[in-house]
C-alpha cells in the first residue's frame, strides 16, 4: 500500500526549481550548500524546496556530521511511474513501428 503524502509527486514536480534539484541528486547525495551553488537559489529557498520534496517523499535527508545530505528516494517516484506506464507503452509501439518502416525502406 502506498501512503499518500500531503503533497503529491506531481505537485512537487510542477516547480522547475524542484525538478532541477532532483536532476542534481541523480548523481548522488549532496548537501544543501552544493544545491544552492548549483541552482543559484538562495539557501532559504533551496531548503523550502527540499522540505516540499521530502514531504512528497521524493528525497530524504541523512545526517552527516553537522550537515544533512539529500538524496533521491526512488519509492516516491512510483506515483509518476504508474501514471507514465500507459504512455510509455504507446511510444514503445510507435517507435517499433517506425523502426520496422525504416528497415523496410533501406
Q: What is the mean pLDDT of residues 49-75?
A: 93
Higher-pLDDT residue of 37 and 93 is: 37
| Percentage of the chain exceeding pLDDT 90 | 55
Residue given cell 512537487 in the structure block: 12
Rounded mean pLDDT of the chain?
A: 89
Q: Determine the Cα–Cα distance for residues 2 and 27; give it in Å rounded to an integer.
A: 26
Q: Tens digit of pLDDT for each residue in 15-45?
A: 999 999 999 999 999 999 999 999 999 999 9
For domain 9-105, give its CATH number from 3.40.50.300, 1.10.150.120, 1.10.10.10, 3.40.50.2300: 1.10.10.10
Q: How many CB atoms lie within 10 A of CB 13?
A: 16
DSSP conformation class of 29? -
**Helix (H), strand (E) counts: the chain:** 5, 3
Q: Where are the domains of the chain?
A: 9-105
Please say if the pLDDT value at position 4 is more than 50.
no
Cell of 18: 524542484
Amino acid at each position: 500500500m502506498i501512503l499518500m503524502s500531503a503533497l503529491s509527486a506531481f505537485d512537487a514536480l510542477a516547480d522547475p526549481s524542484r525538478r532541477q534539484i532532483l536532476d542534481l541528486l541523480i548523481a548522488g547525495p549532496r548537501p544543501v550548500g552544493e544545491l544552492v551553488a548549483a541552482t543559484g537559489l538562495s539557501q532559504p529557498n533551496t531548503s523550502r524546496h527540499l522540505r516540499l520534496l521530502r514531504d512528497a517523499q521524493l528525497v530524504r535527508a541523512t545526517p552527516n556530521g553537522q550537515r544533512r545530505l539529500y538524496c533521491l528516494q526512488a519509492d516516491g517516484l512510483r506515483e509518476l511511474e504508474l501514471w507514465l506506464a500507459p504512455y510509455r507503452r504507446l511510444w514503445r509501439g510507435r517507435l517499433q513501428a517506425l523502426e520496422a518502416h525504416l528497415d523496410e525502406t533501406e
